Amino acid sequence: SKFTVGDYLAERLAQIGIHHHFVVPGDYNLILLDKLQAHPDLKEVGCANELNCSLAAEGYARANGVSACVVTFSVGAISAFNGTGSAYSENLPLILISGSPNTNDAGQHHILHHTLGHTDYNYQYEMAKKITCCAVQIPRAVEAPRLIDRALRHALLARKPCYIEIPTNLSGAACVRPGPISAVTEPVLSDKGALDAAAKCAAEYLAGKLKPVILVGPKLKRAGAEKELLQLAEAMGCAVAVQPAAKGMFPEDHKQFVGIFWGQVSTGAADSIVHWADALICVGTVFNDYSTVGWTAMPDIPLMAADIDHVTYPGAHFSRVRLPEFLARLATTVTFNDSTMIEYNRLRPDPQNVHIAAPEEELTRKETSRQIQAMLDSNTTLFVETGDSWFNGIQLTLPPGAQFEIEMQWGHIGWSIPAAFGYAMRWPERRTIIMIGDGSFQVTAQEVSQMVRYNLPITIILMNNRGYTIEVEIHDGSYNKIKNWDYALLIQAFNGTDGHAKGVVANTAGELADAIRDANEYKLGPTLIECTIDQDDCSKELITWGHYVAAANARPPKGRNE
Ligand SMILES: C/C(NCc1cnc(C)nc1N)=C(/S)[C@H](O)COP(=O)(O)OP(=O)(O)O
Ligand SMILES: [Mg+2]
């Protein structure tokens, strides 16, 4: 049979390492879906809607490194833009693919369904340009190879999403077979001179410094530089603090781990040791309003900052220095200096004895956290949703091998349900656990039905505090109240393999312990455990953090727009 544009795209997706592609069908993409389905190395995964489809692809990219989301024109793609924005802000190469109108329609001035009702169909492509690193429209089959390869290569090199728009009558059009995939995937290595100069500048920056600390940020993993960071950390012997969005990117059982640096809501004594430092080596860090607690926790010493593909110092910048190579080079040139670890061991807080609730005690947030801590092991991946779950999750300690996923830059409530689903499709043998609030759950609950459909034993710990508690702490109002659902009953409506998926309510410590034990054994699909807690039972960190974030939001307008 003839080789087509759809076959070309399918082959390229498989060649860059995609094993599953997430879809919602529509008449603009059906022929394309047939071609993708026909590829032996691609497994089509249907989603309930395009917001969840794009968020599932975002989660898949966290597990797999790259992902694909295939939607129909306009009504589909515009919802998928939200997960694409998440991938952009979280530095994940999500390939957004949209079907589009037949190439003859524009010239015939046809008004088409799903469109805005006029004859310029380019609005979607124009919008996609803003939220991707490369957007292409395939105008003719002959241009498909060049444009598809360009978009894929840009996404892989930039760790950002790209956009490919394919007219419904081109997916089945004849196309040449692809050339070597190395043309798309071959990485861009560091410029030799820049790498040498950057390493030399590091030596100058660190010379004479007595108290260096390494601060790890979320771009470390996106740059694939975790191993090299470990080499550098051990070559220096210094304290290693981790930003909240980077939790899990440095082993928490490592003797140089000093906790999560998050200003006044840090864990351990991370903020003390970071403020004690006279040199801060920032690796993949992102200082935004949330990670700096409303700008109250910006380090105030001159920083050295190593990003995905450049390094900056006070008074110097080096482009095209790739993070893994830079850290590996530094590991061979730095001088050992463990002064901040020696000091940290003087500051290290003593482990608190956590109250163990009696089985009949009403369930609290603290008891729920204590029981989740006991669930974590080397095979666990913990997803924490925007909400107090951020704070409760970040306070947990990750045992060796445990993974952690958080979406702190985009912060879309409900992300964790589809994202964990996408993640688990890639790693079904891992134990995926989600900590999520009631408000977030209501945004994307449909995707639990996909966990049932694909028999993924994901455990959903739903913290039901009756509303939007983060927003209450930042600024309360009637809008923070929501309609309560019978969450356990909803899950049973998703018709699990063995007649029903598991949904249970835990009102006491004992009921939670029983539910977790059952969840550990139930492998045929997801278990949702609704933990009922008081609506003001939130973490002290949330209250402190919310206070400063609200203050940052409230800064009065300056100057002539007063
Ligand atoms: C409404 C909103 N944020 C605003 C918001 C609104 N819409 C989207 C898509 N994303 C957002 N972050 C937030 S954090 C709620 O407190 C979440 O409530 P819930 O899931 O119930 O968690 P907590 O009770 O722990 O806060
Ligand atoms: Mg809530």
Ligand 1 atom having least distance to the Cα of 82: 9
| H/E element, 531 | strand 527-532
Tens-digit pLDDT profile for residues 47-95: 999 999 999 999 999 999 999 999 999 999 999 999 999 999 999 999 9
Write down the pLDDT at residue 162. Answer: 99
Q: State how far the Cα of 306 lies from the Cα of 444, in Å rounded to an integer.
A: 36
Segment 483-492 long-range contacts (CB within 8 Å, at least 24 positions apart): 484/438, 485/438, 485/442, 487/438, 487/441, 487/462, 487/528, 487/530, 488/528, 488/530, 490/445, 491/448, 491/526, 491/528
Q: How far apart are CA 104 and CA 552, in angstroms?
A: 52
CA atoms within 13 A on the CB side of 450: 25
- pLDDT surpasses 90 at 473: no
pLDDT computed for residue 560 by the predictor = 66
DSSP, collapsed to helix, strand or coil, labels residue 256 as: coil
Are 63 and 426 in contact, with CB atoms under 8 Å apart? yes
219: exposed, middle or buried (C-beta count within 10 Å: 0-12, 13-18, 19+)? buried
Predicted pLDDT at 462: 98
Residues in the chain: 562
How far is it between the farthest Cα atoms of the chain?
Answer: 77
Percentage of residues in the chain with pLDDT exceeding 90? 95
The residue-averaged pLDDT of 540-548 equals 94
Q: CA quadruple 151, 12, 23, 402: dihedral positive or negative? A: negative
- pLDDT interval class at 1 (50, 70, 90): confident
> Is the predicted pLDDT of residue 558 greater than 90, yes or no?
no
Residue 430 CA to residue 146 CA, distance in Å, equals: 38
Distance 396 CA to ligand 1 centre (A): 21
CA distance 276 to 167: 58
Q: Which two tokens stand for residue 198?
A: 């950057």
**pLDDT tens digits, residue range 313-364?**
999 999 999 999 999 999 999 999 999 999 999 999 998 899 999 999 999 9
Listed in order, strand segments (DSSP E) in 352-444 are 380-384, 403-405, 431-437
Quote the Cα angle for 67-419-135, to 5°: 40
For the four alpha carbons of 265, 266, 272 and 277, in that order, the dihedral sign comes to negative
The 3-state DSSP class for residue 516 equals helix
For the CA atoms of 293, 295, 298, 302, the dihedral, rounded to the nearest 10 degrees, stands at: 170
- Is-contact 426 405, C-beta < 8 A? no
Alpha helices in 305-415 (DSSP H): 323-333, 339-347, 365-375, 388-394
**Residue 79: CB within 6 Å of ligand 1?**
no
Average pLDDT over residues 6-10: 98
The pLDDT value recorded for residue 562 is 57
Phi, psi of 338 (to 5 degrees): -105, 25
pLDDT for residue 500: 58
Best CA proximity match to 26, nearest among 6, 49, 7: 49
SS3 content of the chain, % helix, strand, coil (to 5): 40, 15, 40
Residue 117 has pLDDT above 60, yes or no: yes
The type of residue at 69 is C
* Model pLDDT, residue 381: 98
Task: Say if ligand 1 is within 6 A of residue 387 CB.
Answer: yes
**Which residue's alpha carbon is nearest to atom 15 within ligand 1?**
468
- Report the SS3 class of residue 486: coil
- Please give the pLDDT value at position 320: 98
State both tokens at 111. 């008004």
- Strand, coil or helix: 100: strand
Side by side, the strands of the sheet bearing 212-216 are: 257-260, 239-242, 212-216, 279-283, 303-306, 310-313, 316-319
DSSP letters spanning 105-170 = TGGGT---TTS-SSS-TTHHHHHHHHTSSEEEE--SGGGHHHHHHHHHHHHHHHTS-EEEEEETTT
* Distance from the alpha carbon of residue 439 to the mean position of ligand 1, in angstroms: 6
Report in angstroms the alpha-carbon separations of 135 from 15, 105, 456, 518, 524.
20, 21, 34, 47, 40
Question: Tell me, what amino acid is at 445?
Answer: A
What is d(CA 409, CA 92) in angstroms, rounded to the nearest whole number? 12
Residue 23 has pLDDT above 90, yes or no: yes
User: Rounded CA gap, 336 and 212, in Å?
Assistant: 10
How remote is the CA of residue 1 from the centroid of ligand 2, in Å? 54
* Mean pLDDT (whole number) for 289-302: 94
Nearest atom (ligand 1) to Cα of 413: 10
The pLDDT tens digits of the residues spanning 474-518 come to: 888 999 999 999 999 999 889 876 665 789 999 999 999 999 999
Cβ of 539 below 6 Å from ligand 1: no
- CA nearest ligand 1 atom 4, residue: 413
- Residue among 145, 341, 372, 166 at smallest CA distance from 254: 341
Residue 561's pLDDT is: 61
CA distance 562 to 552: 17
Whether the pLDDT of residue 559 is over 80: the answer is no
- What mean pLDDT, rounded, does the chain reach? 96
> How far separated are the first and last CA of the chain, in Å rounded?
68
What is the per-residue DSSP string for 166-184?
Answer: EETTTTTSB-PPP--THHH
Amino acid in position 30: L
CB of 465 closer than 6 A to ligand 1? yes
Residue 380 φ/ψ region, left for φ over 0, alpha for ψ in the -120 to 50 degree band, beta for the rest: beta
Question: Which pTM does this prediction carry?
Answer: 0.97
Whether 273 contacts 307, CB under 8 Å = no
Asked if the model's pLDDT at residue 366 lies above 90, the reply is yes
- Say which ligand is closest to the CA of 442: 1
> Ligand 1 centre from 478 Cα, in Å?
14
Within a 10 A sphere around the Cβ of 43, how many other Cβ atoms?
A: 14
- Ligand 1 centroid to Cα of residue 443, in Å, is 9
- Which is nearest to 160 in space by CA: 197, 129, 200, 114? 129
Mutational pocket test of ligand 1: of 464, 468, 539, the residue with most ligand atoms within 8 Å of the beta carbon? 468
Determine which of 17-26, 436-445, 546-555 has the lowest per-residue pLDDT on average.
Answer: 546-555
**pLDDT tens digit string along 193-235?**
999 999 999 999 999 999 999 999 999 999 999 999 999 999 9
Residues in a beta bridge with 163: 96, 135
Q: Does the pLDDT at position 15 exceed 70? A: yes
Is there an atom of ligand 1 within 6 Å of 205 CB?
no
**CA–centroid distance, residue 502 to ligand 1 (Å):** 25
- Helices (H), ranges, 427-499: 438-444, 448-453, 469-474, 487-492
Q: Whose CA is nearest to atom 14 of ligand 1?
A: 387
Ligand 2 ion: Cβ-proximal residues, 5 Å cutoff: 437-439, 465, 469
Ligand 1 site, residue 85, Cβ cutoff 6 A: no
